Structure 1
Amino acid sequence: MHRRNSRRTALVLSAAALAATPFLTACGNEAHPGAAAVVGGQRITVSQLDARVTEVRDAQQAATRGDAQYSQAVAQSGPLTRSTLNAMVRTRVLHRAATDAGVTVTRAETQAKRAEYEKQVGGAEQLKAAFLQQFNIPPQRLTEAMRSEVEAGKLIEAIGADPQTPQGQAAFAKALADASKELGVSLNPRYGTWDAKGNKATDARVPWLNQVTKQAPTQPA
């Protein structure tokens, strides 16, 4: 049951991202100099965000051969700074929603999810390459990504949502929106404003969390 619901999570997350009328939080960070975002009173600093972006760029460079391939990888990753911040905030929102629902994730569950994906794509290296290419997740962040996926699947179960139905999608979207509003997400204006109902930064690319549970990553050619 958990595995089936986990793979369906993306349907619900996509519905949350496409929710209708935005509910915008305050966007100013004048009281938090150097912050890219403030989530639940905790800062995501610009330097932390830059470090995350650098991790992706370094991984892309290590995985490509020559300047031409690297340039292509950079182009395919889109507006990386904004989408990376979007993912960092959404991960915290998901964690709050899961915590509010009494959800916990063990290391064993995270490892099992990773092993499941590795088996589907043909090995550990293939999984690292797939997540880097498809979701801009560098190898050192893969365990975090697996944990968030397990957390999302267990949250769906905890709130009794069926991601195959509009009602289930709405219930999951509400859980994320409630957590987002509870945390009081605030972005530095240079990165947009936070849409609590849609659980995303406005004008930001939909990040990996919308897609990762739709299916296992395809094996890179």
Structure 2
Amino acid sequence: MHRRRRTALVLTAAIAAAAPLLTACGNDAHPGAAAVVGGQRITVTQLEDRVNEVRRAQRAAVPDETQYQQVVSSTSSLTRDTLHNMVLDRVLHRAARDQGISVTRNEIQQMREGLEQQAGGSKGLQTAWLQKYGIAPAHLDDNLRLQLEAQKLAEKLGTDTSQPAFWKALSKASEELHVDLNPRYGAWDVQKSSRVDAGTPWVREVTAAGGQPATA
């Protein structure tokens, strides 16, 4: 269990680092959509609502105006980061489903309780996830489900989340879902595993525990 908890703290950083495996071919075929995954739209409004949730949580955590503006400046790629998480959630869920993997509410609660012990309580965990990963408190359990699915998928494949076999499964799922990003948010070339619009950062640097900052 200790290893599982430790893995949870760095999994989002690992996913961000390997995100170029996700495919996107942005076009104007879906007006009002930030992305289309498996034929289902993630609308610009849904994306903006999710970003606003994070900003409100950041504002509540940092009441000083000057400090808050510093937080906003340091998370200037929040919209792209958030869309990345929203797309990745669906891709990873598909990859897990393909392997017959599911996550129960009880498993999410057990992971949360363990992480809260490490973070010094529920508030500490919410603050950590907000600061490290840009996850608003309302979506913390959703992110824990994502991480549990990733762990189970890696175990089912006999690997871990840093190895090619894991990312090959995600690449297959993204191809099955025909991930399509609005060009304003970027595009991915699955063959080259690199971002087409490299000049527009998709994922901000995040530091894995004991490691170096990971960049896309």
Please give the range of the TM-score, normalised by the shorter of the 2 chains: 0.7 to 0.9
Find the counterpart in structure 2 of residue 104 from structure 1: 102
Partner of residue 72, structure 1: 70
Other structure's SS at 1:93 match: helix
Q: Percent identity?
A: 48
Query: Is 1:7 the equivalent of 2:4?
Result: no
CA-atom RMSD in angstroms: 2.9
Secondary structure in 1 aligned to 2:18? helix
Q: Which amino acid aligns with 2:25?
A: A
Q: Which residue does the alignment assign to 2:40?
A: 42
More off after superposition, 131-140 vs 41-50: 131-140
Per-residue CA deviation, residues 30-83 of structure 1 (Å, 9 max, x unaligned), is 221100000000000000000001001111111112211211111122311111
Q: Is contact 1:17–1:200 with CA below 8 Å preserved after alignment? A: no
Partners of 1:90 and 1:199 within 8 A in 2: no
Q: Which residue of 2 aligns with 1:156?
A: 154
**Inter-CA distance 170–192: structure 2 relative to 1 (3 Å threshold):** same
The match for 1:218 is: none
Question: Are 2:202 and 1:205 aligned?
Answer: yes
Is the Cα–Cα contact under 8 Å of residues 126 and 137 in structure 2 kept in the other structure?
Answer: yes
Give the deviation of 1:114 after TM superposition. Answer: 0.7
Question: Which of 180, 184, 192 matches 1:186?
Answer: 180
Q: Normalised by the size of structure 2, how large is the TM-score? A: 0.83
Aligned residues: 205
Contact 1:12–1:172 (8 Å) recurs in 2: no
In structure 1, what is the equivalent of residue 30 of structure 2?
Answer: 32
Q: Is the 8 A contact 2:23 2:179 kept in 1?
A: no
User: Under a length normalisation based on structure 1, what TM-score does the superposition of the two structures give?
Assistant: 0.81
Specify every segment of 5 or more residues in structure 2 that has no aligned partner in the other structure, as ranges: 211-216
Contact map agreement 2:23 2:174 (CA 8 A) in 1: no
Query: For the Cα contact (< 8 Å) 2:26–2:183, is it kept in 1?
Result: yes
Shift of 1:87: 1.1
Quick check: 1:90–1:200 contact (8 Å CA) kept in 2? no
Distance in 2, matches of 1:211 and 1:200, equals 20
Aligned counterpart for 2:163 among listed residues 158, 161, 169: 169
Equivalent residues of 2:151, 2:160 under 8 A apart: no
Aligned to 2:116: 118
1:95-148: CA deviation from partner (whole Å, max 9, x where unpaired): 111111111000000011111100011100001111111111111011111111
SS class of match (2:35):
strand
Give the Cα separation in 1 of the matches to 2:63 and 2:45: 28
C-alpha change, 1:37 and 1:162, in structure 2 (3 Å) is closer
Task: Indicate the larger mover: 4-13 or 34-43.
Answer: 4-13
CA distance in 1: counterparts of 2:61 and 2:5, whole angstroms: 32
